[in-house]
Amino acid sequence: MKVLVTGCAGFIGSHVVERLLKEGHEVMGVDNFDIYYSRSQKEKNLLPLLLHPNFKLEEENLATMALVKVLKGTEAIIHLAGQPGVRGSWGTSFHRYITNNLHVTQRLLEESKGNKLKRFVYASSSSVYGDVGEVLHEEMKIQPRSPYGVTKLAAEHLCQLYHQEYKMPTVALRFFSVYGPGQRPDMAFHRFCQNILRDAPLTIYGDGNQVRDFTFVDDITEIVCAALTADVAGQVVNVGGGSPCTLLEAITTLEEISGKTCLKTFLERQKGDVFSTRADTAKLERLFGVKPKTPLREGLALEWEWMKKFVQSEDDEHAIKANIQPIVGVDQAVLAEAKADEKATKKAAKKAAKAAKAAKETKQESIDLPETNAEEKPEV
Ligand code: UGA
């Protein structure tokens, strides 16, 4: 199948592209390498995939680009691009959430509504629930607690509207705290692993007793790819149920994996942070016949191994940059002479260009003349 993956250079996006290519799909990836986090991490995510003959990358902004460029011939869309970050969605940055989560989703739906897509997979989030219950199931009355969650829910509603009105085969998958190799740098485990490696204290928001249904990225990609062909049009489905535990319990596991005892700094609970997320996976199992299976210890160990290499590569890059020395000991007189030469060359080039332009214009006039006079010539 020819699949368009938006946000292909991101954490989940790059894993999804890798899996789709392994499964034999043809993938068009779009990413604008947004400044939310480092371009270098995204490039590292994509590097192993760039040479694959079935992968094409477009560096474009979905909010402004001519979408026809990437929609032509596309049979399915996996829409993962968005503005992430629960805690940062308050205040003046909200317009980024509106544009990247809501407006972009509407553009994609609108532009592809007549394309007879086989599937439109939308990456939603457990953040749409808020703190509405112990176990979260799709039929609950929900109330997001962060502006981020509000935009994710609104985009989910758009998908359902386009399904109802235009028969678009949309499905919204609600991901629960995804983790694993390549995780975004603002997320808890990325920060914790990095700080452990750098012997820095871990910052914990609140008392650390918040519960998250941590879900390993490979379990997520398995469901995302299965959603291309499963009978799920018009559905909203939880994709979680990996390993619910408190943040402190997860940190203890990380201490065991790393063999280090962490220093912890406790800060105030962050606005928008929910107390608990636990996915009810009955619908997931019914529709897909599978559910996330990777135990937290196994998934965290893989993220830890990835982080060791990632931190090393970042350190190597910084060391190379720091070692690039400015050229010292240049004779100032020679430098001044070279600069004067450069100036003279530029001046001469400008003069020559001007002369050439004038000559061209004169020639043009002399070519035009006989044609103008042609009418006056007597017919023979
Ligand atoms: C994550 C993602 O960031 C969202 O994009 C996604 O939509 C959401 O999961 C979801 O699944 O709904 P979050 O649950 O906040 O959001 O995931 P983490 O950033 O990994 O944070 C988990 C918990 O650790 C939060 O309570 C957070 O406050 C806490 N945390 C995070 C810390 O205590 N310290 C940190 O340095 C980072």
CA dihedral 104, 107, 113, 115 (to 10 degrees): -90
**One-letter amino acid identity for 77?**
I
Q: Does a structural domain hold residue 378?
A: no
Q: Does a structural domain hold residue 118?
A: yes
Query: Which of 85-94, 123-132, 342-351 comes out lowest in average pLDDT?
Result: 342-351
CATH number at residue 280: 3.40.50.720
Cα–Cα dist 264/250, whole Å: 13
Cα–Cα dist 146/150, whole Å: 6
Ligand 1 mutation target, pool 87, 127, 152, most atoms within 8 A of CB: 127
If you search the block for the tokens 């499963």, which residue do you land on?
230
DSSP 143: -
What pLDDT is attached to residue 311? 95
Q: Does a structural domain hold residue 135?
A: yes
Q: Does a structural domain hold residue 372?
A: no
**For the ranges 235-244, 299-308, 326-335, the one whose mean pLDDT is highest:** 299-308
Q: Does a structural domain hold residue 52?
A: yes
Cα–Cα dist 346/213, whole Å: 64
Tell me the per-residue pLDDT of 123-171, one tens digit each, with 9 for 90 and over: 999 999 999 988 999 999 999 999 999 999 999 999 999 999 999 999 9
Cα–Cα dist 117/112, whole Å: 8
What is the dihedral sign for C-alpha 88, 93, 97, 100? negative
Q: Which of 279, 291, 281 is nearest to 134 (CA)?
A: 279
User: Got the DSSP string for 331-371?
Assistant: -HHHHHHHHHHHHHHHHHHHHHHHHHHHHHHHHHHHHHHHH
Q: Does a structural domain hold residue 320?
A: no
Tell me the per-residue pLDDT of 266-317, one tens digit each, with 9 for 90 and over: 999 999 999 999 999 999 999 999 999 999 999 999 999 999 999 999 889 8
Q: Does a structural domain hold residue 355?
A: no
Q: 94 CB contacts (<8 Å, ≥6 apart)?
A: 147
If you search the block for the tokens 């994709």, which residue do you land on?
239
Ligand 1 mutation target, pool 86, 122, 131, most atoms within 8 A of CB: 86
Number of domains forming the structure of the chain: 1
* Residues belonging to the chain: 380
Residue with CA at minimum distance from ligand 1 atom 31: 188
Q: Does a structural domain hold residue 351?
A: no
Tell me the per-residue pLDDT of 22-68, one tens digit each, with 9 for 90 and over: 999 999 999 999 999 999 999 999 999 999 999 999 999 999 999 99
> What range defines the domain where residue 152 resides?
2-182+216-242+274-294
Decide: helix, strand or coil at residue 105. helix
Choosing from 97, 122, 129, 148, the catalytic residue is: 148
Select the more confidently predicted residue: 330 or 223: 223
What pLDDT is attached to residue 363? 57
Confidence band, pLDDT 50/70/90 cuts, at residue 173: very high
If you search the block for the tokens 């007549």, which residue do you land on?
114
8 Å CB contact between 69 and 112: no
